[in-house]
Amino acid sequence: MKPFQFISATNPGDAVARLTKNPEAAFLGGGTNLLDLMKEHVSLPNEIIDIGNLSLKEIKATATGFHLGALAKNTETANHPLIRKHLPLLSKAILAGASAQIRNMATNGGNLLQRTRCSYFYDISMPCNKRVPGSGCAALEGFNRMHAIFGWSEQCVAVYPSDMAIALSALNATVKVKTSVAERLIPFKDFHLLPGNHPEKDNSLAHGELITGIEIPNNSLAAHSAYVKVRDRNSYAFALVSVAAGLSLNGNLIQSAHLAMGGVAHKPWRALQAEDFLKGKPATIANFTKAAELEMASAKALPNNRFKIEMGRKTLINALQLAFKG
Amino acid sequence: MENSTKSIGKGIDRIDGILKITGKATYATDYPAKNMAYAVLFKSTIAAGQITKIDSTEAEKYPGVIKVITHENAPRLNTKGGLRGGALLQGPEIIFHGQHIGIVVAETFEQATAAAHLIKVEYNQKAEKTNFEKLAETPTMPKGKELADQVRGAGKSAMKTAEVTVEELYETPIEHHHPMEPHATMAMWEGDKLTLYNGSQIINGAQTAAAATLNMKPEQVRIISPFIGGGFGSKGGQWANLVLTAVAAKMVNRPVKLALTRQQMFNSVGLRQRNMQKLSIGATKEGKLVALAHEIISHTAINDEYIEPCGDCTKIMYDVPNSLITYRVVPMNIILPTYTRGPGKSTGSFALESAMDELAYKLKMDPIELRIKNEPPKDPSNGKPWSSRTTVKCLQEGAKAFGWDKRKAEPGTNKIGDDLIGYGVACGTYPARQRDSSAIIKLTLKNKVVHAKVEIAASDLGTGTNTILAQTAADGLGLPVNQITVKLGDSDLPPAAGSVGSVGASSFANAVNDACIKITDELLAKSGKQFFVRPTAAQLMISESFTDFQTRSDSKAPAEAEKYSAHSFNANFAEVRVNSITGMVKVTRFLAVTGAGKILNPKTARSQIIGGNVWGIGMALTEESVIDPRYGNFATRSFADYHVPTNLDIGNLDAMFINEEDLIPNKMGVKGIGEVGIVGVAAAVANAVFNATGKRVRSLPITPDKLL
Amino acid sequence: MKQNKTQLTPEEHRLFGDLMPEELEEVIQSGFNRRHFVKLMGLASAGLLASYALGAEQLFARAVETDEIPDLIPNAIENGVNVTFKVNSSSKSILIDSRMTLLDTLRERIGLTGSKKGCDHGQCGACTVIVDGHRVLSCLTLAATCQGKSVITIEGLAKENELNPMQAAFLKHDGFQCGFCTPGQICSAVALMKEAKEGQASFATTHISADAKPILLSDEEIAERMSGNICRCGAYPNIVAAIKEAQTGKNVPQNWLFTD
Ligand SMILES: Cc1cc2nc3c(=O)[nH]c(=O)nc-3n(C[C@H](O)[C@H](O)[C@H](O)COP(=O)(O)OP(=O)(O)OC[C@H]3O[C@@H](n4cnc5c(N)ncnc54)[C@H](O)[C@@H]3O)c2cc1C
Ligand code: SF4
Ligand code: FES
Ligand code: FES
């Protein structure tokens, strides 16, 4: 690791002020992603501001839904009685990720900001636009089995690896951010970015901004939700494809479908076309299939990941079925 | 209950287990040393060419840095000293991506690592040979004599006479050993004497290779390796890092610790090469084999050859009058491949035993029946009689225990919910050999209690050597196990074979057993008495009040053994559950039935077998290293990309042993289990996947995308 | 075919024969069953269950923990941070380079080399230790963040001469081969007992939305929850058996089969 100053922030204001002052500083949440990247010399902060002691750890019900503190651990969040009862989709998605040890360390804020697992991004001897803008994308014509089928650009074909965020996307969450002057709320769909011409930017957070929490509106999906994750081994592996599905049902009729996909794009991929199609239709296999096909029609595969289109279709159908069964 | 006075054959707990569960077992980097310095390797970022410039000025100025070592200032070493893979910093040539090109030594690991990033290297790059698919179109003949074409009868041309044929291409990817302990060394000099703490499967091999490479005498070099965090072949032959640690320690005149990072493991300590295997089987309608051909293309390093013998199982498994085995090779800019658990047999049996399954399906025959029908009465490759052959028994007993009769012959017909269930079977074999080994036994009598110390430069990499040697000595001397101390893993001890190629248990146990017999003989002679019933060494020590006595025995394989073909055999039964939607596979049940002669300790033997099974399951389902041919680097470069099976990938594993006594290969009748445990496993799983889904995957690993 | 040829040694038989079937309640109380294991450990230390003849010599061959942490020369530390934290119930104060991970601090500075470095990147679990009651990866934990925390490593699990029940169960079930992943596995498993007692869910849990209550873990639950600890030797089924035995306090049979 490159040498860095280590400072423990005393309160959110202090943390934001310190980060704002130094363009090369970084917050340290659980450290499970940042330390990994620092050891690989992908991230090179010269100052680490430990935010682990800030009191942004509360998980609670609010007037309109639920609040997750940015520094609450993934484990606590997944196991909080409120979350298990009302947002089981979120619990399940968190528990699908990483390992027990990592979830014990990982914070909710850090999880949202984890960077891609593209192996060229991690290998500093390789060209990578995300790591070194303008150096090229080694994955575009390289080993891109794990990479995107939606929304990629010639500049970057990486996928965003979080499981938790896929559920949060389906649940219409909002990210609460503290800047040096105010607080702002970022709807989930605007939080993560597609690569476009600036793959170095994963999300719409500006340097100096601190995630303080995540807000999730009330919903009626608890009884009919599912998280399906397809991966190369049965546990402790990132998704090839994952789907978070929640159905709001009136008898057999779908009032609204909430569908987001992981492992397929540079951000949680909200399957809006499928959702639109399903709205108001009966929950049948035929409709699930049609919806999945509609969604996957716009997918564009890379040389090594053509399979993800069929895998995505099947997984969407499967997740819808499981959600329907409850 | 078995005879409780005997220890051999009992499943006692590992005698070194207590150290492992309390964190006190000492691996290479666990030894304290005063004034230790930390070394970190840095590597080439091209696959072929020359270093034109290394600028280490910034690194040298970095706080705490003691020395930067490159080919420009490294001492001249003997590159033919017996280390594998080159990369000894002897010149500017680069022959593979990630070749070691230098070392930073610093006060701390953090400083050495940070400084290594400050080194600037310039290259003159050459076109690299890294595209296996392309190069495999024009392979060459290997140099090794044992890899020459092997033709029996009419060879492959007999395929024409067959009524039913299978001709398919089977592919296995590059795999890495990835022992949990990355290769690491601590080097300490005292004058011209060098001590190397280094996990070594072959203690004396490491010693002689290190000494020769450093232009020293073997007795100047001591290897200490009581515990090894896994090796699986990668710590058999030793690699540059062993000696480079010594070089660094010499140059900074301090003890030095050098551990490879997990990422560096991909191109530092060998690998299992990628194989393309064309397997052709011809049979009569009744299922009698008439022709068998196994044509293999693999790759090796650009300047050195290692090829795993994929044709070995094919050579001896079935009774077939006409056969052909050929090896072709592609030299590539890649680290030298090396022995990897079940070398050749594990990957070769995937091709052979998959093809047998395909043949059985075509013949509408039970795959077990097909195999039994082609059982060879003697070794078809050399005409020697078997010392014993247990394949049929393994198959029959296994079928009973596993419930093979519940298998549905037609694939894709056994469904529970979204899951497809399938059964698969496959056989395997591995040679049984004994290698020269010596052992010393030291007996002491104190307060009427006899204690024995067994000394042998053997190694225990989790194989249970400590424990089985204590058991062997206990029975050989007439003592309980807890009055035996075993000392191994040190080159100062009597020389021994290595824990490689499944020769460990037979070589070590026979050496200790011979020493027990010898010491008893000598004590008898010393007593000058005649006994009606031969007393044990322990009884003699007590009755004659001898306080100290020791002897050394040097053991060799019996000459008789050469006249026979001696092997361990197995049959593997797999039950898989394939999610018909996601394509994810879980091995829910696995049974390995093994005929491996005398089982010294069924508890540790079972662990070895199921460990081999887990390896085979990894080969079948998850493990693959991918090279990006444009750069020659590994695109799968970390433990997050290279998928070793996790606990959840593994279901219920059972090990069954054939109760056999085969004293031909060695006096103890021990045949070895470490390697055979992986042989046939991948095929059994792949065959089960076919039975479950009707999809025949001929290219490993069987990841979900291949089952969509 | 004979089953379980060497299921229990005669000594084990004698001592286990009278063990009452344990109530779930007791498991819940203690996370895992102490009574059963006090017995097991009696056996171990009597040299019956685990004969560790090799042990004695090596067990004490190495000073396990440095009481006085030697200072490094000044230029060996950049951006020094003073941290005070508890390791296995003794307090440590140490000046460290800000980059130093908890793993390297334990191994290289404090002399506790039981925790292992298998990958240094959070990808194997060999470095698992228990911090403030939770299992975490020490390779991804900066020691500087441990100020005031309490760390338990493999070296701190046994009390005096009594092994932790989980250690004993690993020994009995041969839950390892090379032993390199073992400290991490055991720390992980010990913390898992607490998680099960608290009723924490896993991805294998079917009814996530049900109220959390103490769980008796199925094989599948154990396997999923232990999947963050890679064992390249492949001791997984034995690890599952050991944890099951530790949790239930009931003898889990060891299966190896011999043909007649
Ligand atoms: C081997 C391995 C396997 C994994 N597998 C999975 C998986 O299958 N699925 C999955 O979803 N995840 C997986 N993960 C990723 C893991 O979930 C993330 O690393 C973790 O969630 C990150 O959280 P953290 O608190 O540790 O983040 P950190 O590493 O502390 O931080 C990550 C980034 O966020 C910034 N940051 C942190 N908190 C804040 C804040 N409050 N405000 C602003 N910036 C902040 C940091 O500066 C840093 O840039 C895996 C990780 C590893 C190492
Ligand atoms: S896909 Fe993105 S992250 Fe990967 S190499 Fe290309 S630019 Fe870098
Ligand atoms: S060493 Fe920490 S997870 Fe591998
Ligand atoms: S015991 Fe060797 S890695 Fe687990």
Residues B334 and A276: their CA atoms lie apart, in Å, by 51
Residues B404 and B473 in one domain: no
The pTM is what? 0.95
pLDDT at A225: 97
Q: Please name the residue of chain C whose CA is at the shortest distance from the CA of residue A84.
A: C209
B384 in reach of chain C (CB within 8 A): no
Residues B299 and B418 in one domain: yes
**CATH assignment of C165-248, among 3.30.360.10, 1.10.150.120, 1.20.120.420, 1.10.3430.10:** 1.10.150.120
In a domain, residue A129? The reply is: no
Give me ligand 1 centre to Cα A109, in Å.
Answer: 8
Of C125, C205, C212, the CB nearest to A99: C125
pLDDT at C12: 40
**Which atom of ligand 3 is closest in space to residue C120's alpha carbon?**
1
Residues B449 and B532 in one domain: yes
CA B684, chain centre distance (Å):
20
CATH of the domain at B493: 3.30.365.10
pLDDT at C159: 81
The alpha carbon of residue A164 is apart from the nearest alpha carbon of chain C, in Å, by 13
Give me ligand 3 centre to Cα B288, in Å.
Answer: 52
Domain that includes residue A34, residue range: 5-52
The alpha carbon of residue B244 is apart from the nearest alpha carbon of chain A, in Å, by 23
What are the start and end residues of each CATH 1.10.150.120 domain in chain C?
A: 165-248
A117 in reach of chain B (CB within 8 A): yes
C95 in reach of chain A (CB within 8 A): no
- Give per-residue pLDDT as tens, B584-616: 999 999 999 999 999 999 999 999 999 999 999
Give me ligand 1 centre to Cα A161, in Å.
Answer: 10
Computed on alpha carbons and rounded to an integer, the radius of gyration of chain B in Å comes to: 26
Structural contact between residues C114 and C154, judged by C-beta atoms closer than 8 angstroms? yes
CATH of the domain at A34: 3.30.43.10
Q: Whose alpha carbon is nearest atom 32 of ligand 1?
A: A110
The size of chain B, in residues, is 708
- Give per-residue pLDDT as tens, B545-575: 999 999 999 999 999 999 999 999 999 999 9
CATH architecture of C74-156: Roll (3.10)
Residues B308 and B403 in one domain: yes
Cα→Cα distances B143→B305, B330, C151, Å: 8, 12, 56
- Does the ipTM surpass 0.90? yes
The CB density around residue B33, as the number of other CB atoms within 10 Å, is 15
Structural contact between residues A120 and A139, judged by C-beta atoms closer than 8 angstroms? yes
Annotated active-site residue B675? The verdict is: yes
Residues B626 and B518 in one domain: no
Is any atom of ligand 4 closer than 6 Å to the C-beta of C236? no
Number of domains in chain A: 2
Between these two residues, C89 and B683, which has the higher pLDDT value? B683
Residues B384 and B625: their CA atoms lie apart, in Å, by 39
Residues B339 and B243 in one domain: no
Residues B280 and B329 in one domain: yes
Starting at the earlier edge strand, list the strands of the sheet with A47-50. A5-8, A47-50, A25-28
Q: Compute the average pLDDT of residues B338-343.
A: 97
Computed on alpha carbons and rounded to an integer, the radius of gyration of chain C in Å comes to: 20
Is any atom of ligand 1 closer than 6 Å to the C-beta of A77? no
Residues B77 and B221 in one domain: yes
Q: Residue C121 phi/psi, 5° resolution?
A: -135, 20
Q: Please name the residue of chain A whose CA is at the shortest distance from the CA of residue B651.
A: A234
Q: Confidence class of residue B2 from pLDDT cuts 50, 70 and 90?
A: very low
Instruction: Using an 8 Å CB-CB cutoff, list residues of chain A that contact chain C.
Output: 1, 3-6, 8, 28, 30-32, 35-36, 39-40, 48, 50, 52, 75, 78-79, 81, 84-85, 88, 91-92, 95-96, 98-102, 104-105, 222, 234-236
Three-class SS state of B168: strand
Q: Give the CA dihedral B377, B383, B386, B391, nearest 10 degrees.
A: -50
pLDDT at C24: 32
Q: Give the CA dihedral C55, C61, C65, C71, nearest 10 degrees.
A: -160
**Which atom of ligand 2 is closest in space to residue A147's alpha carbon?**
1
Residues B496 and B382 in one domain: no
Residues A324 and A226: their CA atoms lie apart, in Å, by 9
Task: Ligand 1 pocket test: pick from A22, A38, A43, A113 the residue with the most ligand atoms within 8 Å of its Cβ.
Answer: A113
Starting at the earlier edge strand, list the strands of the sheet with A253-262. A225-231, A239-250, A253-262, A269-270
Domain stop point among B530, B555, B580? B555
Which amino acids bring their CB within 6 angstroms of ligand 2? Answer: A 116, 118, 120-121, 128-130, 137-139, 156-158, 199
Task: Ligand 1 pocket test: pick from A24, A32, A101, A204 the residue with the most ligand atoms within 8 Å of its Cβ.
Answer: A32
**Three-state helix/strand/coil letters over B513-565:** HHHHHHHHHHHHHHHCCCCCCCCCHHHHHHHCCCCEEEEEEEECCCHHHHHCE
Q: Compute the average pLDDT of residues B113-135.
A: 97
Residues B581 and B681 in one domain: yes
Of B621, B637, B705, the CB nearest to A123: B637
Domain stop point among B206, B237, B261? B261
Residues B400 and B522 in one domain: no
- Give per-residue pLDDT as tens, B37-68: 999 999 999 999 999 999 999 999 999 999 99
DSSP H or E run through C130:
strand C128-131
Window C:21-60, CB contacts with A under 8 Å: none
For all residues of chain B together, what is the average pLDDT? 97
- Give per-residue pLDDT as tens, B370-386: 999 999 999 999 999 99
Cα→Cα distances B498→B436, B456, B465, B487, C3, Å: 10, 11, 11, 15, 33
Q: Whose alpha carbon is nearest atom 3 of ligand 3?
A: C122
Side-chain-side CA neighbours of residue C231 (13 Å): 36
In a domain, residue A192? The reply is: no
pLDDT at B500: 85
Q: Is the pLDDT of residue A200 over 60?
A: yes
pLDDT at C212: 87
Domain that includes residue B245, residue range: 37-127+179-261
Is any atom of ligand 4 closer than 6 Å to the C-beta of C235? yes
Task: Ligand 3 pocket test: pick from C102, C113, C124 the residue with the most ligand atoms within 8 Å of its Cβ.
Answer: C124
In a domain, residue B255? The reply is: yes
Give me ligand 3 centre to Cα B199, in Å.
Answer: 19
What residues of C are in contact with residue B24 (Cβ under 8 Å)? Answer: 58-59, 62, 64, 114, 155
Task: Ligand 1 pocket test: pick from A56, A114, A210 the residue with the most ligand atoms within 8 Å of its Cβ.
Answer: A114
DSSP H or E run through B506:
helix B504-527
Query: Which of C180, C206, C239 is most worth mutating to test chain B (most B CB atoms within 10 A of its CB)?
Result: C180
**Which atom of ligand 3 is closest in space to residue C122's alpha carbon?**
3
Number of domains in chain B: 3
- Kindly list the partner chains of chain C, i.e. chains with 3 or more CB atom pairs below 8 Å: A, B
A123 in reach of chain B (CB within 8 A): yes
What residues of A are in contact with residue C147 (Cβ under 8 Å)? Answer: 8
pLDDT at C66: 57
B252 in reach of chain C (CB within 8 A): no
Roughly what angle, to the nearest 10 degrees, separates helices B681-693 and B602-621? 50
Below-70 pLDDT ranges, chain C: 1-67
pLDDT at C67: 64
Residues B77 and B204 in one domain: yes
Structural contact between residues B225 and B489, judged by C-beta atoms closer than 8 angstroms? yes
- The two three-digit tokens of residue B404, written as one number: 């093979």
What are the start and end residues of each CATH 3.10.20.30 domain in chain C?
A: 74-156
- Give per-residue pLDDT as tens, A26-84: 999 999 999 999 999 999 999 999 999 999 999 999 999 999 999 999 999 999 999 99
The alpha carbon of residue C1 is apart from the nearest alpha carbon of chain A, in Å, by 33
Roughly what angle, to the nearest 10 degrees, separates helices B602-621 and C236-248? 120
In a domain, residue B81? The reply is: yes
B462 in reach of chain C (CB within 8 A): yes
Structural contact between residues C247 and B646, judged by C-beta atoms closer than 8 angstroms? no
H helices of C61-159, where? 102-104
Residues B308, B455, B624, B675: which is the catalytic one? B675
